[in-house]
Amino acid sequence: AQSVTQLGSHVSVSEGALVLLRCNYSSSVPPYLFWYVQYPNQGLQLLLKYTTGATLVKGINGFEAEFKKSETSFHLTKPSAHMSDAAEYFCAVSVTGANNLFFGTGTRLTVIP
C-alpha cells in the first residue's frame, strides 16, 4: 500500500526566509512523487515531479525537491519565500499498478511580511 505523510499542517515563514515543507511516503515499490500548489479558491497546479533519474528536481516559481530513497522523503524547498508563495501545498504519490494519485493532507504556508 502507498501513503503520504506531510508533517505540519501549517507552516509560517518570514518573507525572504527558507521554505521547507516535509513529505514522507510509504511505498513497497519505487514511487513517482509530485508536489502540487493550491492558491485560494483555485484548483491544484503541478509544482514539480520526480519520476526517474536525477533526485533533485526543480519546479516552477523557484521551488525544488529532493528524492531521498533512504529516508523515504521528498521535501519541498525554496531558498527565499515571497508573499505570493502563500498557498496550500500537497504532496502526492503514484505507483505502478495504481491508477490514481494518493495525496497527503496538505500544508498551508503563510508568509509573514
Partner 1 sequence: NAGVTQTPKFQVLKTGQSMTLQCAQDMNHEYMSWYRQDPGMGLRLIHYSVGAGITDQGEVPNGYNVSRSTTEDFPLRLLSAAPSQTSVYFCASRDGQMNTEAFFGQGTRLTVV
Count CA within 13 A, CB hemisphere, residue 27: 26
Candidates 12, 26, 80, 105; binder of partner 1 (CB under 8 A) is: 105
Contact 49/57 with Cβ under 8 angstroms?
yes
Residue 12 in the binding site for partner 1 (CB under 8 A): no
- Number of Cβ within 10 Å of residue 83's Cβ equals 9
Q: How many residues bind partner 1 (CB under 8 A)?
A: 28
Candidates 46, 56, 60, 112; binder of partner 1 (CB under 8 A) is: 46
Measured from the CB of residue 80, what is the shortest distance to partner 1 in angstroms?
Answer: 26
